Amino acid sequence: MSHLNVRTAGVLAIGSVALGALLAAQASIKPGHDRVPPYRDPSPYLSRADVAAALDRLDPNLVRSRTGGAVDVAPGKAPGVVRRRMRGPQYAITHTRTLEYVIVTKGSGTLVTGGTLIPPTIDSDPYPNANPNATIRSDAGVKGGLARKVGPGDVIVNLPGTPHWFSEIDDAIEYVEIQIPNVDPAPGVERAEVLPAAQKQ
């Protein structure tokens, strides 16, 4: 047998072994492992320049309001991810079943967390509320919470039901806010009271 025939036979033998191994592997794949999730669009993205330009386009009156202005990362797709610039006094709020991450990117202020909201709550946000994910707001602030000075790079995690309030803002503050709704409180943490929904007649 010539060297060429020997080499060809070797390649064929290796190919046969590889093909056999591939077929054996496919045969051993568990049901469902031969499929992948469907195609999705690329992740929503805003560059630093995009965010800055969008913030500059916000209505100054909204920026100075108690709620501040927000820039959606992906309208209709990522409604829980926003970035805000806020000036002046703010509402004190509690998200009854929402986990919230706050990452300060610019500016500074005093953030009060914990304690209880000072009554009365806002007319549109009575407590208890029939919506388990309701945001309860107070115009007066928080009683008994812990005040911290926060600035760029600081990360705050507001657990479900935890009051939080910017009692002071040093001219302006910007932060990324990520909200995850429908979160049950951690073991040992009391669940916020939910008003039963009105029965349909």
127 and 169 share one domain = yes
* pLDDT higher than threshold 80 for residue 26: no
Q: For residue 7, what are its two tokens?
A: 């080499």
Which CATH number goes with the domain that contains 85?
2.60.120.10
Alpha-carbon distance of 92 to 48, in angstroms, equals: 29
81 and 119 share one domain = yes
Does 172 reside within a domain? yes
Does 100 reside within a domain? yes
Beta strand 146-150 with 99-113 is antiparallel
Between 26-40, 75-89, 114-128, 154-168, the lowest mean confidence (pLDDT) is in 75-89
- Looking at residue 172, its amino acid is A
91 and 24 share one domain = no
Long-range contacts of 117-124 (CB under 8 A, 24+ apart): 117/92, 117/93, 117/141, 117/142, 117/143, 117/163, 118/92, 118/142, 118/143, 122/91
Instruction: Residue 86: name the closest of 111, 58, 66 by CA.
Output: 66
Q: For residue 82, what are its two tokens?
A: 């926003």
Residue 179 phi/psi, 5-degree rounding, is -115, 135
Residue 52 phi/psi, 5-degree rounding, is -60, -45
Instruction: Residue 163: name the closest of 117, 120, 123 by CA.
Output: 117
Beta strand 164-180 with 155-158 is unpaired
3-state secondary structure of 83: strand
175 and 86 share one domain = yes
* pLDDT higher than threshold 90 for residue 148: yes
127 and 176 share one domain = yes
Q: How many domains does the chain have?
A: 2
Does 23 reside within a domain? yes
1 and 66 share one domain = no
Does 194 reside within a domain? no
Mean pLDDT of 54-64: 89
Does 163 reside within a domain? yes
Domain with 157, as residue range(s), is 48-180
What is the pLDDT confidence band of residue 24, given thresholds at 50, 70 and 90? low
21 and 99 share one domain = no
Of residues 114 and 37, the one with the higher pLDDT is 114
30 and 54 share one domain = no
27 and 115 share one domain = no
Does 156 reside within a domain? yes
* pLDDT higher than threshold 80 for residue 1: no
151 and 83 share one domain = yes
pTM of the model: 0.76
13 and 106 share one domain = no
| pLDDT tens-place string over residues 84-138 | 888 777 899 999 899 999 999 999 999 999 999 999 999 999 999 999 889 999 9
Say what the pLDDT of residue 8 is: 54
Say what the pLDDT of residue 201 is: 39
